Amino acid sequence: MGNVRQKLYGIIRRAGPALLAGCALSRAVALGAGTQNNPVRHASDYTSVEYFDPPNGMQISSRITGAEAIPLPGNRLIMLKQFKLETFAANGAPESIVEAPECVYDQFNGTANSAGPLKIRQADGQVELDGVGFLWRQDDEFLTISNQVSTIIKTGPNLKLTP
């Protein structure tokens, strides 16, 4: 069970930097727009990609996509619709997928949250985690899922559970 717990913790921990990398781009746009008194504009097919450090600098470490990025009043918050975060290993193998119908990102406090559902799964399909309501804190890379949390662990020949 310790190995499964470590895998889940690793999925949740890796999801944070990629989420924040995508939102950092939005933050830079918003900060630049604020100094020029131009509002941040609506964007569709939002994508943000983060790469590994050298020597794997050509390999994608994470990709955030959203059907829409909508600035909320004050250009401080951004609503990402159909949020999806994919993480990858240094060899290019997919690791985890995080999905939520929507996510609000606070650019100045470094938080992302939603009152709606969240789904996290390993790319191999062996572990899935669902919940309703989440808060991501950038400063300590901590994800809290607040309600109706459930975990499904699918056993098979490649999954070994130890007590």
CA Rg, the chain, in Å? 17
Per-residue pLDDT, 43: 82
54 within a domain of the structure (yes/no): yes
147 within a domain of the structure (yes/no): yes
Q: Which residues contact 76 (CB under 8 A, 6 or more apart)?
A: 30, 106, 107, 108
Q: Shortest CA distance to 137 belongs to which of 42, 23, 53, 2? A: 23
163 within a domain of the structure (yes/no): no
Cis ω for the linkage preceding 73 (within 30 of 0)? no
Per-residue pLDDT, 11: 53
Domain membership of residue 35 as a residue range? 2-153
Per-residue pLDDT, 3: 47
140 within a domain of the structure (yes/no): yes
- Strand-pairing partners, residue 102, are 81
Domain count, the chain: 1
161 within a domain of the structure (yes/no): no
CATH number for the domain including 127? 2.60.450
Per-residue pLDDT, 93: 94
User: Tens digit of pLDDT per residue, the chain (163 long)?
Assistant: 444 445 555 555 555 444 444 444 444 444 444 433 334 578 888 777 778 889 999 999 878 788 998 988 877 888 989 988 788 999 999 988 889 999 987 767 767 789 999 998 999 888 999 999 988 775 665 778 899 999 998 876 665 555 5
106 within a domain of the structure (yes/no): yes
158 within a domain of the structure (yes/no): no
